[in-house]
Amino acid sequence: MLLRKTRKRLIYRVKLAIFESGNFQEMLDLRDKYRLEDSMGFRGQFDEHRRFQFDLLKRRGLLPHHRLLEIGCGPLTGGLPLIGYLNPGNYTGVDVRDSVLNLAWKEVGKAGLSARNPRLIQSSSFGSNELRGQQFDFVLSFSVLYHLSDEILASYLAAVRERLNATGQCLANVNTQDASSTWLEFPFLRRTIEDYESLARSKGLETSRLGELAELGFLLPGIERRNQMLAFRPTSVPANGDARLG
């Protein structure tokens, strides 16, 4: 029995030494990062997307006591630092894909943020069926709206109007320049800002144009830097740029 235990310890130590000397942990970390990047877009863009989304929300007035809903949260590209920044329970993420939510929960655990009590929801209704009556100070949808058909976009804007409180704002980037195509199983659609303004108005929202992502500090050189960032607010509240919420 003692010999068997000794042999197991030796085998474990040898395996550990091989693992550490071969930088296998770095390889595993890189593999995990590739999975995150593949689920949100393209490789090599994850860190800048995370930085930009977090910084943009803070510049738009996000404070720890605010409640934030991210529609299309994916693997928590921007969501993970937001969970750490907001007061416990103030982050809710919604996505239609179970697979990316599994990655998201894994990232919450790895970052030691479970005690922040984020809520992650799989939903095909933008959270309308799951969040009835709940309202938020901010809604974020990054790289989401140009994947929605006209009918689904209308449902999205109606859901946003229900979820925003009286002084809330929804931030979303849109494609106004690059030809329509597809990405994975989703369409990639070009629309004019006027298209968004008209449809948003019909759902009780008014639209502010914040500028291209590059103008707002997005550092990647690809076509996404030309996306326009829009802010939607309930029509009863004047859109006043970077006015901060209480």
Q: 243 lies in a domain?
A: no
Q: Are residues 11 and 108 in the same domain?
A: no
* Burial 39-78, CB ≥16 within 10 A → b, else e: bbbeeebbeebbebbbebbeebbbbeebbbbbbbbbbbbb
Q: Are residues 36 and 55 in the same domain?
A: no
Q: What is the pLDDT of residue 184?
A: 60
pLDDT digits (tens, 9 = 90+) for 133-184: 999 999 999 999 999 999 999 999 999 999 999 999 999 999 999 877 665 6
Q: Are residues 12 and 74 in the same domain?
A: no
CATH number at residue 55: 3.40.50.150
Q: Are residues 142 and 34 in the same domain?
A: no
Q: 102 lies in a domain?
A: yes
Q: What is the pLDDT of residue 236?
A: 74
Q: What is the pLDDT of residue 202?
A: 97
In angstroms, what is the C-alpha Rg of the chain?
A: 21
Q: Are residues 19 and 77 in the same domain?
A: no
Q: What is the pLDDT of residue 178?
A: 85
Q: 52 lies in a domain?
A: yes
Q: Are residues 34 and 152 in the same domain?
A: no
Q: What is the pLDDT of residue 109?
A: 96
Q: What is the pLDDT of residue 187?
A: 85
Reading phi first (left if > 0) and then psi (alpha if -120 to 50, else beta), residue 230 is in beta
Q: Are residues 68 and 156 in the same domain?
A: yes
Q: Are residues 118 and 9 in the same domain?
A: no
Q: Are residues 137 and 23 in the same domain?
A: no
Query: Which pTM value belongs to this model?
Result: 0.81
Q: What is the pLDDT of residue 21?
A: 57
The total of structural domains in the chain comes to 2
DSSP string for 81-138: HHHHHSPTT-EEEEES-HHHHHHHHHHHHHTT-GGG--EEEE-SSTTTTTSTT--EEE
Q: What is the pLDDT of residue 16?
A: 47
Q: 66 lies in a domain?
A: yes
Q: 242 lies in a domain?
A: no
Per-residue pLDDT of the chain (246 residues; tens, 9 = 90+): 555 556 656 555 654 454 455 544 443 343 454 455 454 555 568 899 999 999 999 999 999 999 999 999 999 999 999 999 999 999 999 999 999 999 999 999 999 999 999 999 999 999 999 999 999 999 999 999 999 999 999 999 999 999 999 999 999 999 999 877 665 667 899 999 999 999 999 999 999 999 999 999 999 998 899 999 999 999 975 545 444 443
Half-sphere exposure of 221 (CA within 13 A, CB side): 0
- Domain assignment of residue 19, given as a range: 1-40
Q: 241 lies in a domain?
A: no
Q: Identify the bridge partners of residue 143 per DSSP, sorted by sequence position.
A: none
Q: Are residues 103 and 198 in the same domain?
A: yes
Q: 239 lies in a domain?
A: no
Q: Are residues 118 and 217 in the same domain?
A: yes
Q: Are residues 7 and 93 in the same domain?
A: no
Q: 168 lies in a domain?
A: yes
Amino acid at residue number 99: S
